[in-house]
Structure 1
Amino acid sequence: MSLRPQSALPPVPEDTARIARTAFRRGNPYLLLRDHLGPIFADTAFADLYPARGQPAYAPWRLALVTLMQFREGLSDRQAAEAVRARIDWKYLLALDLIDSGFDHSLLCEFRGRLLQHAASERLLARILDTARDQGLLKARGRQRTDSTHVLAAVRDLNRVELLAETLRAALNAVAIVAPAWLRVLAPPEWHSRYDHRIEETRLPETGAKREAYVLQVGADGYRLLDALDDADAPPPATALAAVAVLRRVWARHFVRGSGTDGEAGWVRLREVRGRGPGDRVESPYDIDARFRAKSGTDWTGYMVHLTETCDHGLPRLVVHTDTTPANVHEAVRTGAIHEALSEAGLTPSEHLVDAAYVSAEQLVAATARYGIDLIGPTRSNHSWQRRNAEAIQVADFIVDWERRRARCPEGHESTSWGEYRDAANARPFIRVSFSPGGCRPCPAKPRCTRATSRRLTLHPRAEHEALAAARKQHESEQGRRLYEQRQGIEGTISQGVRSFGLRRARYRGLAKTTFQGVATAAALNLDRLAAWFGHRPLASAHTSRFSALAT
């Protein structure tokens, strides 16, 4: 398909406008959006996604709007295409005649594919934000807040035995498509009894020797297939399959094979992997990007999505950025990436409200130095016994003389050693300060200071140490607590995304498509909030039950 952009987008047809206004006398979100924002998108914004030659493509500005309305209402492609034909409010926003028959639902899938192929998913959200900025509804260098929630992958949760057998079954099905004759010769009859049906539909041995024998048989079958694919006469299309690559990856992680003698097959042994294993483990052959994570009493297989929204007084709350990662990627790793993305989009805030998971000494310094962002949030909990004892001497009670490379305790004793090191795990620098046992042992404050022979301090580099101390001081102040209370509103956004937009369940498989879902959901949520703003619909207050109100 080729695109022939329209120089001027059509207005709403008179019949469509007349009937829509008659039908929705009290207003309608889509009518409000069209009246205040116009068509929002333009064909020229998607011109690079289409080739120069081919049959004319359906207007991408309309497909973009339909995609967002589809996500706003949780519709399938078929349902969205039907809504274009049947609903007056949709026709009004899309500027379609009443008799317009719309388009085939497959165009929506094709449009998403073009966005993914050209890494252009962010254009959906960016255009909404540009339109809001033009309307004066998005403040430059304002205040923003971020939080995250889990996203369940669109796959079954498999135990280890099910994962191994289903991975082999997925590879067999993929090979059967591209090389059926070759696989028919290779596969023994018993493979059909083991792998014809989905593994969860099979009655597997529960415990003991039978279960172990089944797993080893699956391992041997997998190696037999891989060995055949490694032969010179193996069909090239089969060896290049993604499902075969997944099989190799899973087998390398879960099995060990020894060499055989006299042409016999080698032995196969299951590796000792406790529980879920390291974070890079494949959890399903059908979504190799999904990862397992346990957090705050919740465990899931899938992804994490981080939402950043504005929270300036007197303006609508708009989501300005989404960040989707595999579930095992910690929040602290994404703080810098979020700031970088906001800076590139021209949406850098002056204040960024986050919870403790996003705050670290390194991020506090980087946010200020690189982007001029004041990262506001509680620092991570210190689990030392001194931190849990109100009368104990804390690290903050020591005076650090950075020029002299000395630290002085509240009792006036100076440190005797100062060493600079790097963490072996992440190469981050740190400072270790030690005090003399001779000075600590007779000190009357020793029971409140240390249970060891002498006190040892682990400090961040100077800039990080001072930034961490300032952040703690600010958060513990009354003004800091009032400021941080404004972060709570992002939890309402997460709730709205989960309850009304299906944010917590992946519609697609794979990180790229799940990332697209996050972007499209954020853009659709913004449309919903802009419609509420134009309709003068105020934010709902927190619900208080009749009984709890009696106590106030």
Structure 2
Amino acid sequence: MSLRPQLSLPPVPEDTARVAQTAFRRGNPYLLLRTRLGPIFADAEFADLYPARGQPAYAPWRLALVTLLQFREGLSDRQAADAVRARIDWKYLLGLDLADPGFDYSVLCEFRGRLLQHEAAERLLTCILDTARDQGVLKARGRQRTDSTHVLAAVRDLNRVELLAETLRAALNTVATLAPDWLRSLAPPEWYERYDRRIEDARLPETGPKREAFVLQVGADGYRLLDAMDGAGAPPLAVAAPAVAVLRRVWARHFAREWEGSPPTGDSVRLRPVQGRGPGDRIESPYDVEARFRAKSGTEWTGYMVHLTETCDPDLPRLVVHTDTTPANVHEAMRTGAIHTGLAGLDLIPSEHLVDAAYVSAEHLVAARERHGVILIGPARPKQGWQTREEGAFHVTDFAVDWERQRVRCPEGRESTSWRAYRDKASGRPFIRAGFSPAVCRVCSAKPRCTRAGSRRLSLHPRAEHEALAGARERLESDEGRRLYGQRQGIEATISQGVRRFGLRRARYRGLAKTTLQSVATAAALNLDRLAAWFALRPLAPTRTSRFKALTA
């Protein structure tokens, strides 16, 4: 497919405009968007995705718009292609004639493939933001807020036994496609009975010795296939297949041989101890090797996390300006800097950024201010220790630090006697250890409120980070700071809208790249919806008040 970009996009045909305006006398969001924003996209923005030669491609500016409409209404590719042919409001927005036959639904999948191949998914959102900026409803250096939600991968949850057997089955199916004669000569007759159907549809042995024997037999079968793949006559295409690489990774994590080079039998294979499902490289499904498991706030899922950042300036629409999608086991604290870098690349860096405690640390507060001039507003995570749980105990914030003299004064007026810089072994981050004299602490009347050890020792951040934390805590303790931070809650309504109307929490596709494309397209579609509401002067829906609550009014 080749592209010959149109220098000027065609206007809405007269017959289409006449019928649409007659059908929607009370207004329609798509008609309003076309009137106020024009075509939104242009062919030139996607020209580098197409070769110079070949059959002419369907106009990519129309495919980009159809993609957003598809995500806005939760349609499949076939349903979206049918809507282009049948719906007058879609034809008006796309500038199509009434008799236009549209396109085959497979064109949408091919267009998404081009976006993924060239890593151009962000253009769907960027074009919307550029259009909003031209309309004067989006500006940089304003106020923004960020929060995240989980995204369920488009795979079934598997227990350990199912994961092992299904991984081997997926590898066998792949090899059967690439090298059927080679696999036919290798596979014993019992393999066809053991792996002829999806494992969750099979009847697994009961828990106990029979199930343990089944798992070890699966491990031996997997080693037999991998040993054959390492042999001289193995087909190169099958050896390089991704499913075989996944099999190697899963077997290395879950199985071990009694001795290297032993024949692959159930007696020579043992199951490794469970290594947990926290941060790490554990594959949860052979069909989506990038999905990860996570447990957070009582919710457990396998899949991804998506971080949404939206504007919250007064008297302007709330527009999503950035999305960030990661595997589920990547903590929010790891994405604060990446979000700021992405916003800076869009020239939409905020002056104030409202986030929850998961995104805030001393390092983040300093880096946001020094690198981007951003005031990161959110609660700092409290120190761990019994002092944080006991009323009246002395916290780190109760100690005065004299950075020039390298001394710390406790609430009772005593000064520290030691000051040492060190690096944390786990994170490598710099800290300062300040300690007090045991002789002084032992006779102090306030010792029960201060420490249960012989003397109090404090771990302090470097000066810039320590002062940034103190400033953040002081800001949120003031009435003005609490009112400002209260605006962060609005992002939860955006996430709710994305989940309920746009299917944000369920991945349509498999893999991180495709899930990222879904998140970007969902954010762009949500922006279209909000721009249409803004132009139509439709106010935000008020919070519902129950009939019982209304009795107190």
TM-score between the two structures when normalised by the length of structure 2: 0.98
Contact 2:223–2:264 (CA under 8 A) maintained in structure 1: no
Counterpart residue number, 1:401: 402
SS of the equivalent of 1:541 reads coil
Structure 2 letter corresponding to 1:225: L
Counterpart residue number, 2:525: 524
Contact 2:20–2:89 (CA under 8 A) maintained in structure 1: yes
State how 1:129-528 maps to structure 2 within 5 Å.
Answer: 129-259=129-259, 267-276=268-277, 278-528=279-529
Counterpart residue number, 1:549: 550
Moved more, 346-355 or 408-417: 408-417
SS of the equivalent of 1:352 reads strand
Deviations 1:9-28 (A, max 9, x none): 00000000000001001111
Contact 1:30–1:89 (CA under 8 A) maintained in structure 2: yes
Structure 1 unmatched runs, 5+: none
**For the residues of structure 2 that align with 1:541 and 1:80, how far apart are their CA atoms?**
32
Deviations 1:499-534 (A, max 9, x none): 000000000000000000000000000000001111
Quote the offset at 1:390 in angstroms. Answer: 3.2
SS of the equivalent of 1:420 reads strand
**For the residues of structure 2 that align with 1:263 and 1:532, how far apart are their CA atoms?**
68
Residues 410, 59 of structure 1: CA spacing in aligned structure 2 closer, same or farther, 3 A cutoff? same
Ranges of 4+ aligned residues in structure 1 off by more than 4 Å: 260-266
Contact 1:291–1:303 (CA under 8 A) maintained in structure 2: yes
**For the residues of structure 2 that align with 1:95 and 1:451, how far apart are their CA atoms?**
75
Quote the offset at 1:279 in angstroms. Answer: 2.8
Moved more, 35-44 or 199-208: 199-208
Deviations 1:118-145 (A, max 9, x none): 0100000000000000000002210000
Moved more, 465-474 or 538-547: 538-547
Contact 1:139–1:312 (CA under 8 A) maintained in structure 2: no
Quote the offset at 1:206 in angstroms. Answer: 2.8
Structure 2 letter corresponding to 1:375: L
Quote the offset at 1:433 in angstroms. Answer: 1.1
**For the residues of structure 1 that align with 2:262 and 2:400, how far apart are their CA atoms?**
74
Residues 262, 367 of structure 1: CA spacing in aligned structure 2 closer, same or farther, 3 A cutoff? closer
Contact 2:279–2:329 (CA under 8 A) maintained in structure 1: no
Quote the offset at 1:448 in angstroms. Answer: 1.0
Deviations 1:318-373 (A, max 9, x none): 00000000000000100000000000110000000000000000000000000000
Residues 65, 278 of structure 1: CA spacing in aligned structure 2 closer, same or farther, 3 A cutoff? closer
Structure 2 letter corresponding to 1:46: F
Residues 246, 311 of structure 1: CA spacing in aligned structure 2 closer, same or farther, 3 A cutoff? same
Deviations 1:273-314 (A, max 9, x none): 154365320000000000000000000000000000000000
SS of the equivalent of 1:146 reads strand
SS of the equivalent of 1:363 reads helix
**For the residues of structure 2 that align with 1:332 and 1:260, how far apart are their CA atoms?**
41
SS of the equivalent of 1:4 reads coil
Aligned residues between the structures: 552
Contact 1:260–1:267 (CA under 8 A) maintained in structure 2: no
Quote the offset at 1:260 in angstroms. Answer: 7.1
Residues 263, 380 of structure 1: CA spacing in aligned structure 2 closer, same or farther, 3 A cutoff? closer
Deviations 1:377-400 (A, max 9, x none): 111133322122331111111111
Contact 2:224–2:264 (CA under 8 A) maintained in structure 1: no
Structure 2 letter corresponding to 1:361: A
**For the residues of structure 1 that align with 2:495 and 2:373, how far apart are their CA atoms?**
27
SS of the equivalent of 1:411 reads coil
**For the residues of structure 1 that align with 2:398 and 2:258, how far apart are their CA atoms?**
60
**For the residues of structure 2 that align with 1:355 and 1:260, how far apart are their CA atoms?**
50
State how 1:12-31 maps to structure 2 within 5 Å.
Answer: 12-31=12-31
Structure 2 letter corresponding to 1:26: R
**For the residues of structure 1 that align with 2:475 and 2:316, how far apart are their CA atoms?**
26
Residues 298, 260 of structure 1: CA spacing in aligned structure 2 closer, same or farther, 3 A cutoff? closer
Quote the offset at 1:374 in angstroms. Answer: 0.3
**For the residues of structure 1 that align with 2:167 and 2:239, how far apart are their CA atoms?**
15
SS of the equivalent of 1:304 reads strand
TM-score between the two structures when normalised by the length of structure 1: 0.98
Structure 2 letter corresponding to 1:543: R
SS of the equivalent of 1:214 reads helix
Contact 2:279–2:330 (CA under 8 A) maintained in structure 1: no
Counterpart residue number, 2:535: 534
Quote the offset at 1:97 in angstroms. Answer: 0.3
